[in-house]
Amino acid sequence: MKKIMFVCKKNSRRSQMAEGFAKVIGAGKIEVSSSGLEASHVDPMTVKVMAEIGIDISHQTSKALNQFNPQEFDAVISLCGCGVNLPEAWVVREIFEDWQLEDPEGHDIEKFRAVRDQVKERVEKLIAL
């Protein structure tokens, strides 16, 4: 079973969305985690926009990348352009992508929804590989 790590700066919004989508879309096919260059908190607006489409991420927590071993993951996906800041062991996995999606922090709910939809589309394509 493939293991995927979604990484963002603070593991608060985009990577949390990706984890939530991947757990639903890839159920039984993949294992998934998310983390940040530093741990923070899961943004309540992120929880809200995911709940709108029936995905409950309220139990997810923000975790730091250094809590994980890169050798345990087949794919590493950066959602924010932070790939250039990742230690080399993370970027040399079987699959590495840097999606560079806009951070919805500080924007209205419509921006969160737009980013959510972009994340969903990317996760669907990734899992279909």
Q: Is pLDDT of 129 > 80?
A: no
What CATH number labels 2-128?
3.40.50.2300
Helical residues (DSSP H) of the chain, grouped into ranges: 14-25, 44-51, 88-91, 109-128
Give 129 or 32, the one with higher predicted confidence: 32
Amino acid at site 15: S
Strand 95-98 relative to strand 75-78: parallel, antiparallel, unpaired?
parallel
Tens of pLDDT along 82-98? 888 899 999 999 999 99
15 and 8 in contact (C-beta within 8 Å)? Answer: yes
Determine the pLDDT at residue 81. Answer: 86
Determine the pLDDT at residue 128. Answer: 87
Determine the pLDDT at residue 108. Answer: 94
Determine the pLDDT at residue 61. Answer: 97
CA–CA–CA angle 64, 58, 42 (5° rounding): 40
Handedness of CA 19, 82, 71, 29 (dihedral sign): positive
- Catalytic residues, which ones? 8, 80
Tens of pLDDT along 3-50? 999 999 999 999 999 999 999 999 999 999 999 999 999 999 999 999
pTM, 2 dp? 0.95
Name the strand (E) or helix (H) holding 78.
strand 75-78
